[in-house]
Amino acid sequence: MRADDKDQSAQAPAAVRRIAEKAFLGPEFLTWLYFTLLEEGMELPLPDAFAKGTAEDEALVQFAVGKRAALRALDASGARVALSGGGLDDNGELLQAVRRGALLEVLALEVAIQSRVYTVTLRADDGGLVGVKLPDLFSEPDEAAPDPTVAPPDPLGAPRGKPRRPKLKLPLEDVLALRMQCLSELEAVIDALFARFVTRRLARAWQTEDLGRMRRHVAHGLKQRLAPE
Amino acid sequence: MFGELVAVCYREDRYAIPRALIKREARRRLDTIVREEGKDPRSFGRAFVKAVEAAALAELKTKTIPRTRLCDVVWDTKRGELRVFGRGALATERVASLVERTFQIRVELASYPARAFGLDLGSRAGGVLDRLAPGWLFPDLARGQENAPDEEAA
């Protein structure tokens, strides 16, 4: 090595290096979340995500796997598998990619918190939320009884769009506060899930229980697909 | 300001002017100088040509519509949280830098590792987190021995 080949650039601060070394936590979290949701029937009680005193049934959060997922291999090859469309909660390609050493780096989810439904895509690399759809909180509730004088729509007629509900006219400050509140609610759920993952990941049970559970799920899923009819 | 929320919108203008166009405009200007002032083109120094190019670029910018990207930033002053409604380097680097310069605050990206270190873990768990390495879901892959799924189940 020549004398001027030595890297003489300033080293990144220790805190930055410490965080960079743990970049694998994001993909591991999404992979754990995917299999945990499948194992738990897409329903998790998350009391930590809600204010103290919230009723048990109200702290129950329902999930559905969305229409987008991407996996990347942990090894130097960095092979990437991108999947889109329905049925990602039972997808052989996804299981095969996991079996080959890939972890989820993007995962789309639908999250139902009490009566509010969110759509979100989680990114493992920067912890960001992509394509967030917040519940419609600005329309008047559709509680009016159908008008008997109006003829019902012809089921064989031309398709008609869903009638738009009138929008509530709120001041900008209230709209902003309401939207931020919705985002906070969603983030609280994700934070609670991540805290649960970290607790599991740092425990000895991770090796014996969580990894075993995920391996069994992958093996079972692949075996079902390989088994002759 | 909306109560405890500070909402800011940053705009980034990007001029996509082809290099060839700048060169052509600069060439036209240099030709005009040669023709009108009777100067020898070989007498033009590198710095002079660069200055003419810069002037040509400035003029082209006035005639070009920039590509605009808007990025909303909502700062919850009570919780010390900043939400950047943008993607990529615009959100994570340029807007973060602008927010730091505007408000004189330090912005940290809330990536999953950063959140993990922010959790209230005990001292033992904190030590484990410090030493944590990637956990291979299928360790046989690391050894280059891929087993069939049915063998795995067994």
| Reduced 3-state DSSP string for A80-94 | EEEEECCCHHHCHHH
- pLDDT-based confidence at residue A11 (cuts at 50, 70, 90): confident
As a whole-number percent, the residues of chain A with pLDDT over 90 amount to 29
Rounded Cα–Cα distance for residues B135 and A212 (Å): 12
Q: pLDDT for B28-75, tens place per residue?
A: 999 998 888 888 878 888 899 999 999 999 999 998 898 888 888 898
**CB of B149 within 8 A of CB of A39?**
no
Name the CA radius of gyration of chain A, rounded: 23
Name every chain B residue with its beta carbon within 8 A of the beta carbon of A209: none
- Across the interface, do B111 and A19 touch by the CB < 8 Å criterion? yes
Q: Is B113 left (phi over 0), alpha (psi -120 to 50) or beta?
A: alpha
Confidence of residue B141 (pLDDT cuts 50, 70, 90): low
- List CB contacts (< 8 A) between A28 and chain B: 134-135
How many other C-beta atoms are found inside a 10 Å radius of the C-beta of residue A182?
17
Quick one: A214 exposed, middle or buried, by C-beta within 10 A (0-12, 13-18, 19+)? buried
Per-residue pLDDT, A141: 62
The percent helix, strand, coil of chain B (3-state, each to 5) is 55, 15, 30
Q: What is the reported pLDDT for B145?
A: 44
Nearest to A216 among B74, B125, B153 (CB): B153
Q: Does the distance separating the beta carbons of B149 and A226 come in below 8 Å?
A: yes
Per-residue model confidence (pLDDT) at position A121: 94
Name the phi and psi angles at A42, rounded to 5: 60, 30
Contacts of residue B98, Cβ cutoff 8 Å, sequence gap at least 6: B10
Q: Which of B86, B5, B100 is nearest to A129 (CA)?
A: B86
B118 vs A contacts (CB less than 8 Å) = none
Residue A196 vs residue B43, higher pLDDT: A196
Distance in angstroms (rounded) separating the CA atoms of residues A68 and A161: 26
Residues 6 or more apart whose Cβ sits within 8 Å of residue A198: A25, B116, B119, B121, B129
8 A C-beta contact, residue A180 and residue B83: yes
**pLDDT given at position A163:** 63
The answer to whether the CB atoms of A177 and B129 lie below 8 A apart is: no
Enter the pTM of the model.
0.77
Confidence category of residue A13, pLDDT binned at 50, 70, 90: confident
The pLDDT, as a whole number, for residue B142 is 55
Burial class (CB in 10 A: 0-12, 13-18, 19+), B109: middle
CB nearest A195 (choices: B74, B76, B119): B119
pLDDT at B19 over 80: yes
Cα B76 from Cα B103, distance rounded (Å): 13
Confidence of residue B151 (pLDDT cuts 50, 70, 90): very low
pLDDT score for A83: 93
Query: Hey, CA dihedral for B52, B55, B60, B61, is it positive or negative?
Result: positive
Residues of A in contact with B146 (CB under 8 A): 100
Backbone dihedral angles phi then psi of residue A75, each to the nearest 5 degrees: -75, 180
Q: Which of A5-14, A31-40, A61-70, A89-98 has the lowest average pLDDT?
A: A5-14
pLDDT at B89: 75
At position A97, the amino acid (one-letter code) is A
Number of helices (H), then strands (E), belonging to chain A: the values are 6, 6
Tokens 């920039």, residue located: B66
Q: What is the pLDDT of residue B147?
A: 44
Per-residue pLDDT band for A161 (boundaries 50, 70, 90) equals low
pLDDT score recorded for residue A194: 93
| Listed residue (A198, A189, A192, A195) closest to A24, CA to CA | A198
Using DSSP, state whether A25 is helix, strand or coil. Answer: helix
A107: β partners: A69, A122
User: pLDDT for B78-126, tens place per residue?
Assistant: 888 888 888 777 777 888 888 888 888 888 888 888 888 888 888 888 8
The overall average pLDDT reported for chain A is 84
Residue A177 CA to residue A214 CA, distance in Å, equals 40
Assess whether pLDDT exceeds 70 at residue A146: no
Alpha carbons A3 and A18: distance in angstroms, whole number: 29
Would you state the structure tokens that stand for residue A133, as one six-digit string?
């759809």
User: What sign for the dihedral angle of Cα B14, B18, B23, B29?
Assistant: negative
- Asked if B87's CB is within 8 angstroms of A22's CB, the reply is no
Among A22-31, A86-95, A199-208, B121-130, whose mean pLDDT is lowest? B121-130
Nearest CA in chain A to B129: A202
How confident is residue B23, by pLDDT bands cut at 50, 70 and 90?
A: very high
pLDDT above 80: residue A33? yes
Question: Does residue B153 register a pLDDT over 50?
Answer: no
Percent of chain A residues topping a pLDDT of 70 = 84
Do B129 and A198 count as a contact with CB atoms less than 8 A apart? Answer: yes
Task: Please state, in angstroms and rounded to a whole number, the distance separating the CA atoms of residues A100 and A2.
Answer: 40
Question: Are the Cβ atoms of B137 and A214 closer than 8 angstroms?
Answer: yes
* pLDDT band at residue A117 using 50, 70 and 90 as cut-offs: very high
Tally of residues, chain B: 154
Cβ count near A212 (within 10 Å): 12
Q: Angle at CA A214, nearest 5°, toward A210 and A217?
A: 140
Q: What is the mean pLDDT of chain B?
A: 82
pLDDT exceeds 90 at position A106:
yes
- Residue A134 near residue A118, CB atoms below 8 Å: yes
